[in-house]
Structure 1
Amino acid sequence: MITDYSIQAVAINAIPLIFAITIHEAAHGYAARKLGDDTAYLLGRVTLNPLKHIDPVGTILIPLLLILTGSPFLVGYAKPVPVRFDRLKNPRIDSIWVALAGPGSNFFQALIWAILLITLIGFGINERFLLAMSQAGIIWNLGLLVFNLFPLPPLDGGRILAGLLPARQSILLGKVEPWGFFIVLGLVFTGVIGSFWMEPLIAFFKSVIYFVTLPLQILF
């Protein structure tokens, strides 16, 4: 939960947020290339350059509006990575893996930030900026992970659901896509996604990270 929007808080959050968004989008393109479609690679989207992934509305405007309205959660999106699903080796199954790559990258980033946080505390390194940045890295990545898993296109969760559903239901779900993000935004601003989706799932993934890092915690 982000409640401090001071200059110091912005500085602490900037690096993990940029990494979270950039690696998320690059992961989609990388997975697509490995599975047969090099569209994103040829367009320069399989890169860690954040400027290639910034969307004026999703990366800047929507988070700014949430800040101004005092939202307890900050969500947004980057410029979607272009994928030609018909070029994938196994379009139905591979589309699921391509969609999972982004949220998956956020989970591993959250895990890395958690390991860094535990290590800093374990060695008694009381550098407040690094500690706060590590905590922000966990929060941002879990937030992006859970938000993007919401099962409505064009979010990753919607594409995963479309790949799992029978063909007829998948086609019906695809018809929602032009309106999907407007529906999601409405659910965000009314607090529905925050209360009934993000909060419980973030708590779940925090517990997963806790158990994965438990040996390291015991070591220290």
Structure 2
Amino acid sequence: MFGRTVQEMIMSIPGILIALVISGFAQAYMADKLGDKTPRYQGKLSLNPKEHIDPLGFLIFVVIGFGWSKPVNINRRNFKNIRIDDSLVSAAGFIGNLLMAILFAIIMKIMLVLKIDILLGTVIGGNLLQILLFGIYFNVVFFVLGILPIPPFPGSRILENLTNIEKYEFYTILQRYSFIVFLFLVATNILSRIISPPIIYIYRTILSIFYIK
């Protein structure tokens, strides 16, 4: 995502905001339904962006294409089945992003079928379609980041719940310095090389399903 114009960065903002909010809200909603009211008490059971947006993480997301949001804190002791319920909460965020990407694609398809972009005018309609494309793309980005089985991504929580990996010292160290590791992976472009292929594949697949070219 490096090399985007300022206009493209601006048009990507709605998609990024929605991706961040949906991820946090979905996790909070799932935790609440499974018996943990911690996210509700902390205001996370809301679609208000200020409850989910980390200013620095959001800015980095706009500039380079991936960043972070405010975490959704949970109390695992409130779950009936700790490992399963905790995994469901972790998965809720990135599944919500995937569903949102599909919803954006459906809206875009409806626009194209009804030729709403033409009715709105070439410039306005074209910009709206571009915003929807960014919405699909960044929700896919959040989906792929979410399933990564390394801290601090949600996929690591699922890995911990399904295995005993947390008992190994290397994983404990990785957890302790997860943010530093994340910054290193970003700075060295390693993270981009890891996530770009699945992002592009899923993004193109969603578009092809709805015959969007």
Shorter-chain TM-score range: 0.7 to 0.9
- Structure 2: which amino acid aligns with 1:204? Y
- Partner in structure 2 of residue 49 of structure 1: 48
- Partner in structure 1 of residue 120 of structure 2: none
Q: Is the 1:26–1:48 contact (alpha carbons within 8 Å) kept by the matching residues of 2?
A: yes
| 1:36–1:171 distance in 2 versus 1, CA, 3 Å | farther
Q: Is the 1:163–1:170 contact (alpha carbons within 8 Å) kept by the matching residues of 2?
A: no
What percent identity do the matched residue pairs reach? 31
What displacement does 1:88 show? 1.1
| Secondary structure class of the residue paired with 1:100 | helix
Which range moved further: 199-208 or 178-187? 199-208
- Partner in structure 2 of residue 70 of structure 1: none
In structure 1, distance between residues paired with 2:78 and 2:172: 19
| 1:210–1:54 distance in 2 versus 1, CA, 3 Å | closer
CA offsets 1:96-124 (integer angstroms, 9 cap, x no match): 11100111111011101111222222222
With normalisation by structure 1, the TM-score equals 0.83
Q: Is the 1:99–1:159 contact (alpha carbons within 8 Å) kept by the matching residues of 2?
A: yes
Alignment partner of 1:80 out of 71, 76, 79:
71
In structure 2, distance between residues paired with 1:56 and 1:131: 26
| 1:144–1:154 distance in 2 versus 1, CA, 3 Å | same
With normalisation by structure 2, the TM-score equals 0.86
| 1:115–1:190 distance in 2 versus 1, CA, 3 Å | same
| Pairing 1:182–2:180 present | yes
CA offsets 1:21-65 (integer angstroms, 9 cap, x no match): 0111011111111111110011111100001112233223x347x
In structure 1, distance between residues paired with 2:191 and 2:10: 27
- Partner in structure 1 of residue 90 of structure 2: 99
- Partner in structure 1 of residue 3 of structure 2: 3
| Secondary structure class of the residue paired with 1:176 | helix
1:23-38 correspondence to structure 2 within 5 Å: 23-38=22-37
Q: Is the 2:39–2:45 contact (alpha carbons within 8 Å) kept by the matching residues of 1?
A: yes
What displacement does 1:174 show? 4.6
What displacement does 1:78 show? 0.8
